[in-house]
Amino acid sequence: MEPAVQNNAKLRFAVISDTQLGDDSNGAVPEQLEEKLRSALTILRKDYFEVSGLDAIVVAGDLSQNGRVAEFEAFARIFREVFPESDFNLKGDVNPLATLKALYIKGNHDNYGDGSANYFNTLAPGGDYRGGDGNYLADVNGYKFVMLSQPSTINSGNLYDRASQAFVKAAMVQTAAADPGGDKPIFVVTHPHLYGTVYGSEPTDLENSDWATRDIKPYLDGYRQTIAFSGHSHYPISDERSIDQGEFTALGTGAIAYVDNERGYSESPDSARYVSKWKESVGYYVEVDSANTTTITRLDFARHQVIKEPWVVKPPSDPGWLRYSKGRDKGAPVFSADAKVELLELQPTSVRVRFEQATDAESDVHHYKLSINETSSGVEVLNRVFFSHYFNLAEMPKILTWGSDERDEGASADMDGELVPGTEYEVGVIAYDSFSNASEPLRASFITPPRSPELPSTDFG
C-alpha cells in the first residue's frame, strides 16, 4: 500500500474501532482478533508513523467483547507493543516520554458485565485530558477532540445521560468560541452513530434496525466545522453512505473485528459465500492541512490496500464544503452491453442463474433483486434479494450465482414460492446501488421441465 501523505499536514491521525477482543459466541477466536489489531496497528506504524509521523490514534469504542479486565489488558499490551511511543497506559504505568496520543472511548461491549468498572480500573488516565466518566476534551496539535464514552450496553435510542449531553454541549461551545472563523475542524468521537447521518444510523433494512443515538446530534447541529466519527454498526466504509454531510460531517468507522451489513435479505450478512466476514478489517488515516482541508483515506488492513479515492472535506467557508449530501448520487448501476442472465440447473420447481455484476460510476452496486414472473399472467411468483459483496473489496466477485430455491438460514425473502413444472417464466435481475438507484433489468425466459414420471414398482412381494 502506497502511503497517502501530504507534506503540509498540520495534523495526522488514524481512526479504528470495534476491535472487540475476547471470546465471541458468533465464532471469533480471541487470538485471531488480537492478531487483526496487531496487524492494523503495524500497518499504521510502517506506512504512516514511520513515513510522515502520526500525532494520534483514535479508537471509537468496543475495545473489548465482554468488558473483562484481560481484554482491556490485551488491548493495551498490543497497542504498546506496536507503539511504545504512545500514551496508552495501564493503570499505574504511565509513559512520560509519549509522543503519540491514544484517544479512546467506551462502547456498549465495554460496559458488559462489570465492564465499566473494569475499564476504569485497568486503563490509566495517562494525562489531564481523560476524565473519570470516560468523557474528555483532548488537544492534539491545537485541534480539539470531543471524546464521548457510551455509558450503557443499549444498542440504539437514547443512550446518553444528562451529564454526558451537558459535557458535549459545553465542549462544543468552548471549542467553537476559540475559532471565531469557524473553519478549524472539531472532531467528535462517539461509539454509536448519530441518528440520521451515516449508513446504519437509521432503519434501512427489512428489519428496521439502526445503530444510532438520538441524544447527541442536536448539540452538533449548527457547527458545520464538526467532523464526527462513530463505530458500532460495523457497516462497510467502502459504502459511500459512510460519509454524510448535513448540518456537519459524519463518518462511520467500520470495524477491525468483522464487517456487518443490513439484515432482512435472502442472504445473511454472516454468509461466507465468497469471503468470511471475519477477514475484513478497516480504518482511516486522516490529515488536516494548513487551509483546514481534511483528507480521509480509507484503509483495508486485511489486504494492505487503500480503498477507493480519499474523501476530502473542505472548511465550511469554502463553497465546495457540501460534497457528501444524501442525495448526491443520481446515477443508476449499469450492466455491460453483453451481460446476460445464464440459466443453470433448470429443474421442475427451481432454477439457478448466473450473471456478470453491474457497475456504478458514483457509488457501489449494493445488492440485487432476482424476480421470477409467470409469463402467461405476468404475476411475480417469487423473488430473492442478495448482496453484491462490495464489502469484500478487492475480493468482490465479478460473477454472481443464485438459486430460486436458495435462502440463507435465518434470512428472509420478500416473496417465497416454488416454480411449477412445465410452466413458462421470465426471470429479471435488477442491480441497486447504495443510494437505491435501480438499473435496467437483465431478463431471460425459460420453461421448467416436467417432473420425471414415477417408475412402476418392481416389488412383487
CATH superfamily ID and name for 9-313: Metallo-dependent phosphatases (3.60.21.10)
For residue 115, give every residue at least 6 positions away whose Cβ sits within 8 Å of its Cβ, in sequence order, or none: 64, 66, 67, 68, 106, 109
> Are both 9-313 and 342-447 of the same fold?
no
Tell me how far CA of residue 424 lies from CA of 1, 324, 380, 449, in angstroms. 51, 46, 12, 9
Kind of pairing, strands 352-356 and 342-344?
Answer: antiparallel
Using CB atoms within 10 Å of the CB of residue 224, give its burial: 0 to 12 exposed, 13 to 18 middle, 19+ buried. buried
For residue 408, give every residue at least 6 positions away whose Cβ sits within 8 Å of its Cβ, in sequence order, or none: 266, 267, 268, 270, 271
Q: Could you tell me the fold of the domain covering 342-447?
A: Immunoglobulin-like (2.60.40)
Q: Which pLDDT value is given to residue 125? A: 45
Distance CA 351, CA 91 (A): 61
Which strands, in side-by-side order, build the sheet including 282-289? Answer: 101-104, 56-59, 9-16, 282-289, 294-300, 305-313
Residue 444 belongs to what H/E stretch?
strand 442-447
Residue 367 belongs to what H/E stretch?
strand 365-374
Q: Which pLDDT value is given to residue 294? A: 98
Q: Which pLDDT value is given to residue 119? A: 87
Q: Looking at the whole model, is its pTM more than 0.75?
A: yes
Q: At how many degrees (to 10) do helices 30-44 and 69-82 cross?
A: 30
Q: Which pLDDT value is given to residue 3? A: 60
| All structural domains of the chain with their residue ranges | 9-313, 342-447
Give pLDDT < 50 ranges for the chain. Answer: 125-129
Q: Which pLDDT value is given to residue 126? A: 42
Q: Which pLDDT value is given to residue 129? A: 45
Distance CA 191, CA 44 (A): 21
